[in-house]
Amino acid sequence: MHSLQQLTFLHRYAQLGSDFSSEVYPTPLPAPYLVSFNAAAARLLDLDSEAADRPDFAEHFCGNRIPPNARPLAMLYAGHQFGHFVSQLGDGRAILLGEICNAAGQFWEVQLKGAGATPYSRRGDGRAVLRSSIREYLCSEAMHGLGIPTSRALCIVGSDATVYRESAETAAVLTRLAPSHVRFGSFEVFFYRGQFEQVQTLADFVIENHYAEFANATDKYRLLLREITRSTAHLMAHWQAVGFCHGVMNTDNMSILGLTLDYGPFGFMENFNAGYICNHSDPQARYAYDQQPQIGLWNLSALAHALSKLIDETQRDEILEGYAAIYYEKYAALMGAKLGLKNPSISDLALITSWLQLLQNSQLDYTNTWRSLSNFSIASNAENHWLRNQFIDRAAFDEWAANYRARLHAEHSNDSERKVRMDAVNPKYILRNYLAQIAIERAEQQRDFSEVNRLLALLSKPFDEQPDMQNYAAPPPESARQIVVSCSS
């Protein structure tokens, strides 16, 4: 384990040169204080958990003090935002310190999000507010707890400095970790400028550092696109299965490692609604829940186009045409596991779809209804009354239950064994907006961060019963159902 002083940064991305990033130092933040520290993420850096007790910890993780061997920079990228190409974005408020190679040989980039303006800030102030930092912090760790690929979060440092969004809020810096923050838009920026050499340099960089297994293949660029397609399709299946809505699936927010990246106005579905829109600033419903898988493909097409000098058209098309099959296979596997099936397959999609239709028609809580399905009895209809009674259309439920029962019989399913399997994949706890909101209000109004820490601990084990935390599994109270989440963060 290392102390803060012993962290040694490497600079592989910086070595790509000034076409790819801009050197920039964080803007000091007045009187920073630690909001929350995540010991699990610290272990990824081999960072001693006592590091957070040091009086200067907050100074380091808001960017006021830069470790001697850090080389702070902002990464350049472009992106398709809501379908329209924006030729230059880049890290407008995130500053990369470098990467840490831990004892296990894993590389983690360390980024300070909200650390001040960069050459890519456009009209932004380079800051992040405490509210959105808490949301990203909790959600990225919740996703990790759910087994979904994601960036991680080490800590939040706050300050009383005012930041103006729809109203005056306070500033915070989130320390984000990911093996790579390269996005689809990192390729697009060079392609649309006609800088094809840089596209290739970046592709080589990504392959060498993140897809080393095919670094020597003659068709390595094709394999790169194929792998990003696979991991993106899998990520979409994971999001759908857990009812997660990202909210801003622009190509600049799409990770080349298939990680959930850039948490903004995300939301976990509560009452099931296939058309759910979590982002108040998306009136066209471009990024609604049921659009996500096809937007994943749209974004991959944009990436493939940016790689068109490296991979011929037939091969690009072939890869993109394979997306749907990869997606559906993973989706069926994840949803079938949620149903407790031992060998789920594409042929179970009808059973899955009809179950979702039942949830939608009865406006049932997505997470809790799945969780309660693990108590389904094959033998006795009578024992399923508690479940049946939740549905408005009982006849429709009976019809579905008969099909489910037949499917379970066919694989000789055993109730108690199935319950264990289902409880391991159907979470009891998710980051509900109202839970995040309570933690945010306490933090903002009372500088009380205990609720942030409580949720962090809760959501790191989302499948465990955690008997004294039962209240946190409750659907939102009526008054909190309409919490509006906008893009502003």
Contact 170, 129 (CB under 8 A): yes
Closer of 192 and 328 to ligand AMP (Cβ): 192
Nearest approach, Cβ of residue 234 and Mg ion (Å): 21
Residue 126, contacted partner among Mg ion, ligand AMP, none, CB below 5-8 A by kind: ligand AMP
Residue 282, contacted partner among ligand AMP, Mg ion, none, CB below 5-8 A by kind: none
The verdict on 418 binding ligand AMP (CB under 6 A) reads no
Sketch the per residue contact string, 92 through 111, with ligand AMP: x for CB under 6 A, - otherwise.
xx------------------
Closer of 240 and 279 to ligand AMP (Cβ): 279
The verdict on 246 binding ligand AMP (CB under 6 A) reads no
Q: Three-state SS for 170?
A: strand
Q: Compute the C-alpha angle 423/429/430, nearest 5°.
A: 120
Compute CA distances 92 → 114, 121, 199, 202, 403, whole Å.
Answer: 9, 4, 21, 20, 52
Q: 């990246």: which residue's tokens?
A: 261
Q: Cα(33)–Cα(158) distance, rounded to whole angstroms?
A: 5
The correct pick among 32, 243, 258, 264 for binding ligand AMP (CB under 6 A) is: 264
The correct pick among 46, 59, 125, 348 for binding ligand AMP (CB under 6 A) is: 125
Q: 């906008």: which residue's tokens?
A: 486
The correct pick among 19, 46, 54, 121 for binding ligand AMP (CB under 6 A) is: 121
Compute CA distances 455 → 36, 37, 131, 195, 308, whole Å.
Answer: 11, 13, 14, 45, 45
Helical H segments across 309-393, by residue range? 313-321, 323-338, 349-361, 366-373, 385-388
Q: Cα(155)–Cα(444) distance, rounded to whole angstroms?
A: 16
Nearest approach, Cβ of residue 248 and Mg ion (Å): 7
Q: How far is CA 226 from the centre of its chain?
A: 21
Q: Cα(162)–Cα(130) distance, rounded to whole angstroms?
A: 10
Catalytic annotation present for 252: yes
The verdict on 91 binding ligand AMP (CB under 6 A) reads yes
The verdict on 111 binding Mg ion (CB under 5 A) reads no
- Which of 138, 139, 74, 133 is closest to 109 using CA atoms? 74
Contact 450, 162 (CB under 8 A): no
The verdict on 124 binding ligand AMP (CB under 6 A) reads yes
Residue 264, contacted partner among Mg ion, ligand AMP, none, CB below 5-8 A by kind: ligand AMP
Nearest approach, Cβ of residue 261 and Mg ion (Å): 7
The correct pick among 157, 203, 248, 303 for binding ligand AMP (CB under 6 A) is: 248
Size of the site for ligand AMP (CB under 6 A): 16
DSSP 148-190: --B-EEEEEEEEEEEEESSSEEEEEEEEEEES---BHHHHHHH
The verdict on 282 binding Mg ion (CB under 5 A) reads no
Structure tokens at 63: 């960017």
Nearest approach, Cβ of residue 92 and ligand AMP (Å): 2
The verdict on 127 binding ligand AMP (CB under 6 A) reads yes
Instruction: Considering the candidates 48, 91, 252, 282, report the single residue annotated as catalytic.
Output: 252
Question: Beta partners for 111?
Answer: 96, 176
Size of the site for Mg ion (CB under 5 A): 2
R_g of the chain, CA atoms, integer Å = 23
Nearest approach, Cβ of residue 253 and Mg ion (Å): 4
Structure tokens at 334: 């994840």
Stretch in the footprint of Mg ion (CB under 5 A) among 45-53, 210-218, 251-259, 431-439: 251-259
Angle between the 220-242 and 292-306 helix axes, to the nearest 10 degrees?
160
Q: Cα(179)–Cα(202) distance, rounded to whole angstroms?
A: 15
The correct pick among 251, 253, 279, 291 for binding Mg ion (CB under 5 A) is: 253
Nearest approach, Cβ of residue 262 and ligand AMP (Å): 4
Sketch the per residue contact string, 71 through 90, with ligand AMP: x for CB under 6 A, - otherwise.
------------------xx
Using CB under 5 A, list all residues that contact Mg ion: 253, 262
Residues forming the active site? 252
Using CB under 6 A, list all residues that contact ligand AMP: 89-93, 120-121, 124-127, 248, 250, 253, 262, 264
